[in-house]
Amino acid sequence: MSSPTLTLNDLIATKLQEIADDAWWDHRILRAQDGNGRVLQLGTAAVREAWYCLADHGHGLCNEPLLTHRQASTLLGMYADDEPIPAPQIKPVEIELLDPAVGAFVPDALYHFSDVVAEFQKAQG
């Protein structure tokens, strides 16, 4: 009798689903399905939405796109490891994400798009 084969892709997919389930349970954020994410443009840069917020911050459901540290840095024109949003209005969501550059799951933060836009406008003067 042969036992089922578990592949690395299966393990990664399972971990990604666990992270998505925990993010919904703990923070009320959802992962945008492939192809369904909005294109977020700021200045001359654009990124695709990967997560969005369905929490109630006091004014009803948020429904705002959430950006990873790397995405926020890209939109703000920062390529260093500095914190892209030093004082966000809405607390960033701490989450573990798959980083293809590192090839592992690493801690990250998801920032609300409005905080990224506010930081961009502040930098523009």
Q: What is the tens place of the pLDDT at every residue in 7-65?
A: 888 988 999 999 999 999 999 999 998 777 889 999 889 999 999 999 999 889 999 99
Residue 19: how many other CB atoms lie within 10 Å: 16
Q: What is the pTM of this model?
A: 0.87
Closest by Cα among 33, 47, 58 to 84: 47
CB 29 within 8 A of CB 57: no
Check the CA dihedral 40-42-43-47 and report its sign: negative
- pLDDT above 60 (res 1): no
